[in-house]
Amino acid sequence: MSTQIEQQETETEADEAESEQAVESPGDQRRAAKRQRQAERDVQREAEEASLDDEETVELKVFRYDPEVEGKQEPRFDDFTVPFHKGMTVLDALIYARDRYDSSLTFRHSCRQAVCGSDALFVNGRQRLGCKTQLSDLDDPIRIEPLPHQEVVKDLVVDMEHFYDQMEAVEPYFDADELPEDSLEEQRQTRENREKVKMSTRCIWCGACMSSCNIAAGDNEYLGPAAINKAYRFAMDEREGENRKQERLRIIEQEHGVWRCQTQFSCTEVCPKDIPLTEHIQELKREAVKNNLKFW
């Protein structure tokens, strides 16, 4: 008799448990599903980390700094081990480290096609684009730092405001003396003139040249190679108005303009778009001299 009573009580408790599960709120269900997904991700991450022992890997030494977080205000380097595969770039490795190890790792990037200029970094002692630089071309461990001579905002992100101010200082826009009578008519340019200014138009405003320039590092007012190259792009364009060209030459021949360049070629060496920056600066020097010559 007692055995039958105990069996009935057990069945009653099981029915009550099933009833409680049946009335579980939607919020409880979502939280349970979230915990399940997190557990699955943890298992996957552990499996991936275990598999690194059998894969080819690279070691990253990444500069870290966060002025807003106590304990991270002192600059340091963090080490990350990431799996290597053919065609992998510095940006790929940073994204892996951020997504797998430390979500607070901060750096700029955009299109990953080497045309936005947002992911310029100091990699193994040289200014480079993260999305263009192959890990296979670098010595291990790979040391990644923010661009030198610029204020660090956080980790690998630098303040670009001064760089943009210098670019704007050369007034980088056309101002022709005359416009076509027909508003739909284009301002024509010869093929030869287009070839002359073509390389200067490739600038992606990455700031690598400015960061590499020792003159810019010591003279905060120096226009810098990127801004002077932008001035070259318009001053040498045959569609530029003559009066506007004279004004532009006066801007770039000032005390902190083209004459501050010491022809070190560092800007040309690090330019990711292979722009002959030093050559353009020297040509503007010649134009400035000719502009000041008077024969009477």
Question: Does one domain contain both 66 and 112?
Answer: yes
CATH number at residue 275: 1.10.1060.10
Q: How far is residue 2's CA from residue 220's CA, in Å, rounded to a whole number?
A: 94
Q: How many domains does the chain have?
A: 2
Question: Over the stretch 38-48, which tens digit does the pLDDT of each residue have?
Answer: 888 878 777 66
Q: 97 and 60, same structural domain?
A: yes
Q: Tell me: the pLDDT tens digits for 70-109?
A: 888 899 999 999 999 999 999 999 999 999 999 999 999 9
| Cα 156 from Cα 146, distance rounded (Å) | 4
Is 111 inside any structural domain?
A: yes
Long-range (24+ apart) CB contacts under 8 A made by 218-221 are 219/256, 219/260, 220/162, 221/256
* Residues 170 and 68 grouped into a single domain: no
Average pLDDT over residues 44-64: 78
**CA-atom Rg of the chain in angstroms:** 30
H-helix segments, the chain: 2-22, 26-51, 90-100, 161-169, 191-198, 208-212, 214-218, 225-235, 242-252, 266-270, 277-292
Note whether residue 67 is domain-resident.
yes
**pLDDT for residue 290:** 83
Helix, coil or strand: residue 103: coil
> What CATH number corresponds to the domain at position 122?
3.10.20.30
Same domain, 119 and 208: no
For residues 265 and 153, membership in a common domain is answered with no
pTM, rounded to two decimals: 0.77
**What token pair was written down for 109?**
């990037």
Tell me, yes or no, whether 166 and 118 share the same domain: no
42 lies in some domain: no
Same domain, yes or no, for 130 and 233?
A: no
Q: Are 63 and 127 in a shared domain?
A: yes
Same domain, 145 and 170: no
Q: Poorest-confidence range of 11-15, 118-122, 145-149, 198-202?
A: 11-15
What pairs with residue 79 in β-bridges? 61
Supply the range of the domain harboring residue 257: 161-179+188-292
From the list 91, 225, 232, the residue with the least C-alpha distance to 149 is 225
**3 lies in a domain?**
no
Give yes or no: residues 148 and 165 share one domain. Answer: no
Give yes or no: residues 138 and 206 share one domain: no
Task: Identify whether residues 140 and 166 lie together within a single domain.
Answer: no
